[in-house]
Amino acid sequence: MIQVKNLSKQFGNFTAVNNISFEIKAGEVAGLLGPNGAGKTTTMRMLTGFYNPTGGSIQIDTLSMPANRQTIQKKIGYLPESASSYADMVVWDFLHFAADARGLSAEEKAKGLEKSIAATGISEYLYHPIHKLSKGYKQRVGLASALVHDPSILILDEPTSGLDPNQIAEIQNLIRELSKEKTIILSSHILSEVEAVADRVLIIARGELTYDKSIAELKNQSQTTTLAAFRNAPENLPDILRESLGLPERPQPQMRDGETLFRIAGDKETSHRIFRAAAERNLELTEVYRETESLETLFRSITGGNK
C-alpha cells in the first residue's frame, strides 16, 4: 500500500509537484498520466527515494519515506525514464552488476536473476552487448534489472516511450503479466497506453493531481452521441425529435449529401426512440449510428488540451 499525502517538490522557486495526495492499494496497477513537464518523473523519484520531498509525506507499507529509505528501496523496483546507460556491458554482466548493487546474497542473487530473466524473456540475449539490442529488448533488460531483488512494487517511468507498436504491445503484455504479482505505478503521456494495462488513472498536470479514477469510471464518463440522417426531412423534424426524445431544446440539423443529419447526446435508448419516431411518422430515416468520444479526447478535455 502506497500512501501519498500533500506531497510537494520545489526546485528553487519552481514548484514541480504541488500538494498531491493519492493511495495505491497492494496489487493495483496505477497509471500516472500527464503531459511533458507535468511532474511524473519528479513524483516517481520521490517515491523511490531519489529526491527528498519539499513537503508532505510518503508511506509505503506503513513505513515512511525518506526515514526508511533503505528498507523501502528493497521493496521497490524502479525503471527510470532514460534507457540504461551501461550500453557496453553484456546483458548478463549488467544484471549481475544490478544484483550486486542491491547487496543480494549469493542465493538471492541466483534466484533473482533466474526469475527476472525468465519473466522478461531475455534468456537468448544474455551474452549480447546492450547497445546491440533493439529498444524493446533494452527495455526488457532494464525491467529485468528492476526485478532482480524481487520487489513487490514496480515503478516504471514511461516504459513504452520510444518503442514501435509491436514492442509497445510486448512490453504491455509483460507489464500485465508482472501485475499478477506486483503493485505497479507506471507513467505515460498517452492515455491509451495507460488504459491498456492499468486499473486506475491518475492525471497530473502542471504539478497538480487533476484526476484520480478507475479506468472503468473514466470510460463511463466518455460521451456517446447518436447520429441520425433523414432524407426529405420535414421542416418540423427538430420539433418532432425534441418531443420524442424529451430533449430540453430542438436539436440543430446539419446538411450532408442532401440529407439532414442530427447529432444527439445519448446512447441506445436515444436510437430506439429515433427509430420509433420515424416509424410512427413515416419519416425517411436513412442511417442511425453511435459515436463514443475517444478516451484521448476526454483526456485532452480533462488536462485542458495541454498535451
Q: Give the footprint of ligand ATP on this chain (CB under 6 A).
A: 11, 14, 16, 34, 36-42, 81, 189
The mark string for 80-99 relative to Mg ion (x by CB under 5 A, - otherwise) is -x------------------
- Show the beta-strand stretches assigned E in 224-270: 224-231, 254-256, 259-265
Shortest distance, CB of residue 275 to ligand ATP, whole angstroms? 46
The DSSP secondary-structure symbol of 282 reads: T
> ω into residue 66 within 30 of 0, thus cis?
yes
34 binds, among ligand ATP, Mg ion, none (CB under 5 to 8 A by kind): ligand ATP
Enumerate residues 6+ apart whose C-beta is below 8 A from 148.
77, 95, 98, 99, 102, 104, 109, 112, 113, 116
Point out which span in 38-46, 118-126, 140-148, 177-185 binds Mg ion (CB under 5 A). Answer: 38-46
- The amino acid at 182: K
16 binds, among ligand ATP, Mg ion, none (CB under 5 to 8 A by kind): ligand ATP
Name which of 194 and 233 has its Cβ closer to Mg ion.
Answer: 194
CA 131/CA 93 separation, integer angstroms: 13
Q: Indicate the SS3 state at residue 214.
A: strand
Shortest distance, CB of residue 81 to ligand ATP, whole angstroms? 6
Instruction: List residues bridging with 32 in a β-sheet.
Output: 187, 202
Sign of CA dihedral 89, 92, 93, 97: positive
Shortest distance, CB of residue 94 to ligand ATP, whole angstroms? 24
Name which of 61 and 81 has its Cβ closer to Mg ion.
Answer: 81
Question: Does residue 41 touch Mg ion according to CB under 5 A?
Answer: yes
Contacting residues toward Mg ion, per CB under 5 A: 40-41, 81
